[in-house]
Chain A
Amino acid sequence: MTPKIRELLFQLFTYIVLVAVGLIILFPCLIMLTTSLKADVNLFQVPIQWIPDPVMWSNYSEAFVKMDQIAHGLTFVRVLVNTLFITLLGMVSELCAVSVVAYGFARFRFTGRKVIFFTMLATMMLPGIICIIPSFMIWKGLGLIDTYDPLVTAAWLGGGAWAVFLMRQFMMNIPQEMEEAATIDGANTLQIFYLIIIPMIKPALLALGVLIFQGRWNDFMGPLIYINTAAKFPLVMAIKFFQESLSHEAPKWNYMMAVSAVLALPILILYFSAQRYFIEGLNVGAVKG
């Protein structure tokens, strides 16, 4: 075998494996989609119906009607607004806090800076569950259990350490000349932050925004602990509630897959339109860290 043929075979092998792995990844996603479009009678049919016939788009609306019946008052619009409310409000405050805090770490020297910074990094290793009980006590003491406050208001106080870390890295790469020039022109710190830094960090804000959105949209532990009333549930909780009540009867897998698809779809759209940010954000921590 000449080296050229060997190389060609190896290349062929590479593509075969890449396609196979791609199929392993795509296949379950397609199963979610086809199941969500099947009629009840076709759900357990053997041999398996790969393409649903009839295609039941109505499963999507019926699933949410059913959800409204089980969890009183949790209509499709309501659950969507709940989820968006938790996600967006928390995201806005987290982004504000992250950029302010990261600016402080990136540009100023003050006593305690290192201590605060390394404490912050150390908390990334801490399992979330350990702080849950006292945090719950705080919110209970404030009388704010079963409101969205614990999920959105705490985000003013910095949010994720990884986000601050990424933003700080980004700011350290911005040359300081602009700020120095502005200082000579008589701009104060707030003006510099607002007029120079914010426009410069827009790409980083977008990237973090996407990642924070995804994290908050998918978050399960927070709502599970703080939200009790069914009408206030975000989508993830609604699915859990739905799943628990539906598995008592014959499992309505088509409804459950329809609701799961509704949960996954916005994240997929966001991912495909901003995938660069997802992968970049992920790599910064891994390769530079």
Chain B
Amino acid sequence: MIQGFLSDYLPTTLRWALVGIVLVALMAATYWVLRRFKVKHGSAVGFVFVLPMTLGLLIFTLFPFLFSFYLSFTEFNMFQAPTWVGLANYTQMFTNDTYFWPSCSLTLKYALYSVPLSLIASVAVALLLNRPIKVVGFWRTLYYVPAVLPAAATMLLWRWMFAPNSGLINYMLSPFLLLFGLQPPEWYTDPQLVLSVFVITSLWGVFGANSVILLAGLKNVPTELYEAANLDGAGMLQKFRHITLPMISPTLFYTLITGIIGALQIFTQAFFMTIPANMGTFLSVRIYQEAFAFGHYGYAAAMAWFMLICIFVLTLIVFKSSSAWVYYENEAK
């Protein structure tokens, strides 16, 4: 403990404090320089105040972003300088990597199943929460619990529940299995089922939180609209289809976008669950392995860029489609 304090915590704390002080000094110096160049007080102060973020963006986002693009055309192992290999990483990835396409399809399938399912479930729950019920706050608090739990803990928990021989899920399924004379499902090893374990776990993790978000959207729907519809004799389904859905579509759109981006980046969960080797693994995990386990940093960068483009294209499609189904009240048509 004492040794850990001296060797690990203390130097880091000192460097941490030093960086803080240097940053403040840098801000003061920037202000002085800007004023020397006759920049107005307000502009100089504003620029100095956002300086930490500007530096952070430059050093830890923009530089890495562009540099990884360069790395994706090189072979690089961290010990020697990167050597230019042109498109070799990309051709290797698309034509010669046994695990690449399975990993892509696993990641895509995961997003394709988990995101719409969680949206449907959370709209349903949000509609119920929006009814005149007692202690909405209690239900909201309860449903939000899985979203704050660490992904590591929940994944490990579900892995235990899905354990083929002794897990709770198969135990509860056993009467039905016996009835139909079926073998207990091998959740860890059957390629079809492994994906469903991830989908079910993610559903449990996010649908409650999503329904809390959607509930806030539902609360914003003006009641006059429903009253008017009642006067016109609209049924429940009609009201849902023509009032509720259009009015919450901006919130749905937000949940869909963040859901897709989040699902395609699934990472932590894969470390707490076994995936059969022939299925590959999730793309982020593949990138991590290529880089930090095998030392193929250039190749990993190429894969990361491919993933970025996939996410970008998918998001763009959803954005483009949004004008057809997302309704904004203040939008001039």
Contacts and interface: CB of A to CB of B under 8 A. Distances in A.
Closest 7 A/B residue pairs (Cβ): A108-B46, A104-B49, A157-B56, A134-B64, A131-B64, A158-B53, A158-B56
B153 A120 contact: no
B153 A286 contact: no
A17 B143 CA distance: 13
A77 B1 contact: yes
B271 A220 contact: yes
A260 interface: yes
A217 B332 CA distance: 45
Contacts of B267: 129, 220-221
7 contacts: A14-B128, A93-B16, A96-B20, A135-B60, A221-B267, A243-B272, A283-B216
A225 B59 contact: no
B111 interface: no
A256 interface: yes
Interface stretch (A60-68, A199-207, A263-271): A263-271
B68 A134 contact: yes
A130 B251 contact: no
Contacts of B237: none
Given A14-B131, A21-B208, A148-B8, 15 more contacts: A21-B143, A28-B154, A101-B50, A101-B53, A105-B49, A108-B43, A108-B49, A119-B57, A125-B315, A147-B12, A157-B56, A220-B268, A221-B268, A268-B148, A271-B148
B43 A268 contact: no
Contacts of A129: 265, 267, 284, 287-288, 304, 307
A56 interface: no
A181 interface: no
Interface residues of A, number: 108
Interface string A132-166: 11111110100010011100111011110000100
A153 B152 contact: no
A133 B291 contact: yes
Contact of B161 (A31, A93, A275, A286): A31
Contact of B9 (A85, A111, A214, A240): A85
Contacts, number: 302
Interface in B38-86: 41-50, 52-57, 59-65, 67-68, 71, 78
Contacts of A24: 204
A75 B1 CA distance: 9
B160 A109 contact: no
Contacts of A21: 125, 143, 208
B35 to A, nearest CB: 12
B119 to A, nearest CB: 13
Interface in B143-167: 143-146, 148-154, 156-158, 160-161, 163, 165-166
Given A44-B166, A101-B49, A232-B8, A14 B68 contact: no
Given A14-B133, A129-B287, A287 B217 contact: yes
Nearest to A15: B133
A246 to B, nearest CB: 11
Contact of A46 (B56, B157, B171, B265): B171
Interface footprint category on B: 35 or more
A158 B57 contact: yes
Contacts of B261: 125, 127
B291 A267 contact: no
Interface in B201-216: 204, 208-209, 212-213, 216
Given A21-B125, A93-B16, A109-B46, A130 B308 contact: yes
Contacts of B284: 127, 129
Interface stretch (B94-102, B134-142, B323-331): B134-142
A275 B12 contact: no
B254 interface: yes
Nearest to A135: B64
A73 B3 CA distance: 11
B235 interface: no
A232 B1 CA distance: 11
B301 interface: yes
A113 B150 contact: no
A104 B42 CA distance: 10
A272 interface: yes
Contact of B213 (A44, A112, A232, A286): A286
Nearest to B146: A25
